[in-house]
Structure 1
């Protein structure tokens, strides 16, 4: 996407629309940035820094006109796990490395490959992340004291149960006020961010009605400093980098999926078209620079992007303005944010989890009771009970295995003969019967990709239908419906050819498509069969095959598999002789045909 295309016909009116949408999205992003940061196990200001820096850079360098970038709920489980296992400084290194991986993915033009990740996997881990986010806020909602964060779901649930005696009714009341605002604001004030209204009302209620009774951001994490932190280089030593490579790859994979899904949603809402590779590069640049200012990993935010579009945005300037608005608010009002109760943040994150859970798609796919249902359920359960890394890896492997199984089931090998009743005497499988099958010529139609997953099916079907093939003189293999062949499929095909040729059977092929032809030439199988034995059309190939049979073996044959059989077996002259003898009897009414 060229810069001129991003700002084509841009004017003062366009800037006014971008300014308004940027202000609205910026206000929405502030409570979310702090909430996501706290849920990820780091101080709230780091989420604000990410919203500012990554938000501006993603809009400047990305491939979507309307994308809003920043911290998102999808990152919470993986970031929390990294913080707990390696610490905050190493999280910054992981984010930096993830940015490099994203840039490389964009430069290698891998943006289009993200769409090949199976939908059951994405829905499964998204729903699993939603459960993790929701359950992680139960402690703050109830105001439990002394709750320690653990990496795994069971341990966190056990911790909550153990801390239930410390439940704080003031925290529950604060959370309920915020929750009520989240539900009522869209209904009565649809243009006002519900999260902002919820935080303001619940914070004021806590300050005026029961001051000092609930845990706040300031009491838990210290005061939020105004402005941006200073640029600080990361300790990029070999010992620090190596352990962070795998977490960085997961961050990059998840970030690429989230950002491109968000860009697709934006395209659907606006009729525009994003540049997926440029989007990955923009995301990468943002994640390389943001950690230098203490920010956590960022990606495209679907909800904020949709809000940006609904608010009238016309260009990436709205995303830049959203970052500047957050910066201005942080500089002017950061100290006041320290008084926000953690119980006010809990309903916001719970609502985010509910909205991102893909519950309808999850239930629909589960009801199908197919292999996809299994992939969905396994990915979901592993995301909740183990780690996102394990869930994605096993989910992808399981999806690949099921895909191979399905593709192998698509391959069919049918023995066929011409059907005189059809137009152009097309060959069909139902024409082959015990009493209607040529003893010397066998015709097979191969339908489907001939690859490693289907090679056994191919070999077994041929063996069942022709055995060792010693009774045959010619085997015609119709390959027009084989779009792809890999080296395993070629090995099985070559083995069949060699086996038939060892029994003095001539192998001819019709309709061979470009990719299998190219592979057969590379492996030498093409020369093994002989160029003169390849034909474009089955009719020409069949004429050649009938010319190779032994006519004396046709004498007395009553299969009549082909229209030429009457002449080859001498049945034509025999039929005339019977007709001459039976003529007088027919005229006398003694014989009826």
Structure 2
């Protein structure tokens, strides 16, 4: 634990390095401020909960995790998981599931599962991230066009149907502001300014909406202030409350019906699958982000400590109103490019957002919802990785394309949890099929000119791993020996794996050859695998089973088996 902080302190950073990290933190804070609000709104909760996440989780994870440059907070990957939780269990259920996910992440870290990202195939990652991008973009159409839709519930096709039926209600005012904001987002990267493009876009969108309200009678658009409200000590307000995050147990917060959700075993049972999904997704994105950051910053993270830090952050954040958090690739990249090299940068980013809540809450309330939708459309496009998706379809093997398309369609049409599960299962099955094809068994007719195979001896050359998928295929023909065969030699020099299925198959071969009074010589099997066979009872037996290290020794053992037994 705390490995990133300990290593950073051990390096005794200089004053210029500290100043660089403070500036990097301020830069990331400017980027994270609107994104945190937008992602909270997309997840179905008021914007301040995204800000609370960036403050608490951003600071805690930086101090307790295993990456010195990761910046954590709400991310787009969580949206498709969190929105259904909010719709069914309300804010209280969302924060409780995040709390449970935090404990799961800590357990994963202590269980040394930090190498998790290495076993997830690339097509699975691209498939579900592209699917998430499509789902996020679909949900933003309502606010971008100002459609008269009360809420979006149900599966993806139902949501698309509702949107299509509501297209007649397009509000030109909302659409104008949305298009203007999106245009700035698309054009700004060409300006090559150090000012974040989404900050400029939201500023222009907000100013345009305000000025058009002054000059065009009846011009009005939905804003954060008109959409969301709060109550403090009996006093109501609109937009974002200008107060610090306060402690409260998640089960005291409202459920979908507006009453405190409470705490019960049944509720924990219902939320547990969602908590597992949040934990796995958070682990994958955090570790992937850390790997990318290592390549950019020339630092090295501790993956297990990073999982523990993410877990601690997700345990504490819900206690102060924070939704589930993970390391954000866009913010981490901006941090490294701005000179961030210490956990200090993420801490400063969190403090910046905290002071922004206290000082800028009334101003933030004027941001149009159409502008926030445009920002999320851009986030969805970046997350969809359309270029990587198209390139994978174009150049990848057919099996990988099948995994990619399956994960994508299942994420969009059904559920991300199902998509990742099916994708991993399908990728594993296809991998097993490929591996099985690598395991071959061939009969050696002769070894070389001066070491020919003895008469009445058959040599089988076995290549590749022997496991549950390949053992039967590789060994099934060995029992079909020639009529005059008296000794079988198994050349296992290139056998790299021997699992229980292969051991059972070997036991069957030994029993069958013994019944036919045929000797067996096992050649050059790795000592580790010989021990496995011995534990299973396949041991050296005079005249029946022998072990050798070379083919020459094997043939000598075979010749001894071919000799008639000595007379007593």
TM above 0.5, yes or no, is yes
Unaligned runs of 5+ in 1: 428-436, 552-593
How far apart, CA to CA, are the structure 2 residues paired with 1:125 and 1:333? 36
Post-superposition shift, 1:336?
1.5
Post-superposition shift, 1:531?
10
How far apart, CA to CA, are the structure 2 residues paired with 1:87 and 1:248? 15
Aligned to 1:561: none
8 Å Cα contact 2:173/2:220 also seen in 1: yes
8 Å Cα contact 2:250/2:319 also seen in 1: yes
1:350-369 to structure 2, matched below 5 A, reads 350-367=377-394, 368-369=396-397
How far apart, CA to CA, are the structure 2 residues paired with 1:251 and 1:529? 59
8 Å Cα contact 1:174/1:205 also seen in 2: yes
1:524-563 to structure 2, matched below 5 A, reads 524-527=537-540, 533-549=546-562
What is the SS of the residue equivalent to 2:390?
Answer: helix
* Residue in structure 2 matching 1:231, options 239, 247, 266: 247
1:338-349 to structure 2, matched below 5 A, reads 338-349=365-376
How far apart, CA to CA, are the structure 1 residues paired with 2:269 and 2:423? 25
How far apart, CA to CA, are the structure 1 residues paired with 2:23 and 2:320? 27
Superposition TM-score, scaled by structure 1 size: 0.87
CA distance 1:528–1:400, change in 2 (3 Å): farther
Q: Deviations over 1:7-50 (max 9, x none)?
A: 31312211110110000000000110011111111111110110
How far apart, CA to CA, are the structure 2 residues paired with 1:531 and 1:403? 37
8 Å Cα contact 2:520/2:544 also seen in 1: no
Post-superposition shift, 1:225?
0.2
The yes-or-no answer on 1:508 pairing with 2:521 is yes
How far apart, CA to CA, are the structure 2 residues paired with 1:378 and 1:408? 23
Q: Deviations over 1:381-440 (max 9, x none)?
A: 00000011111111111112112211111110110133436xx86x9xxxxxxxxx8650
* Residue in structure 1 matching 2:438, options 399, 410, 433: 410
Q: How many pairs does the alignment contain?
A: 536
Aligned to 2:58: 55
How far apart, CA to CA, are the structure 2 residues paired with 1:136 and 1:3? 39
What is the SS of the residue equivalent to 1:210?
Answer: helix
Aligned to 2:8: 6
Post-superposition shift, 1:362?
1.7
8 Å Cα contact 1:483/1:515 also seen in 2: no
The yes-or-no answer on 1:39 pairing with 2:42 is yes
1:426-445 to structure 2, matched below 5 A, reads 440-445=456-461
> Which deviates more from structure 2 when the two are superposed, residues 93-102 or residues 165-174?
165-174
* Residue in structure 2 matching 1:494, options 507, 525, 535: 507
What is the SS of the residue equivalent to 2:227?
Answer: helix
Superposition TM-score, scaled by structure 2 size: 0.91
Post-superposition shift, 1:547?
3.8
Post-superposition shift, 1:185?
2.2
8 Å Cα contact 1:63/1:282 also seen in 2: yes
Greater Rg over alpha carbons, structure: 1
8 Å Cα contact 1:469/1:500 also seen in 2: no
* Residue in structure 2 matching 1:66, options 65, 69, 72: 69
Post-superposition shift, 1:444?
0.8
What is the SS of the residue equivalent to 1:524?
Answer: coil
Q: Deviations over 1:457-516 (max 9, x none)?
A: 1233325xxx25552111110111111111111111111121111111110111111332
Aligned to 1:214: 221
Answer 1 or 2: higher relative contact order, Cα 8 Å, separation at least 6: 2
Unaligned runs of 5+ in 2: 230-238, 252-262
What is the SS of the residue equivalent to 2:562?
Answer: coil
> Which deviates more from structure 2 when the two are superposed, residues 109-118 or residues 229-238?
229-238
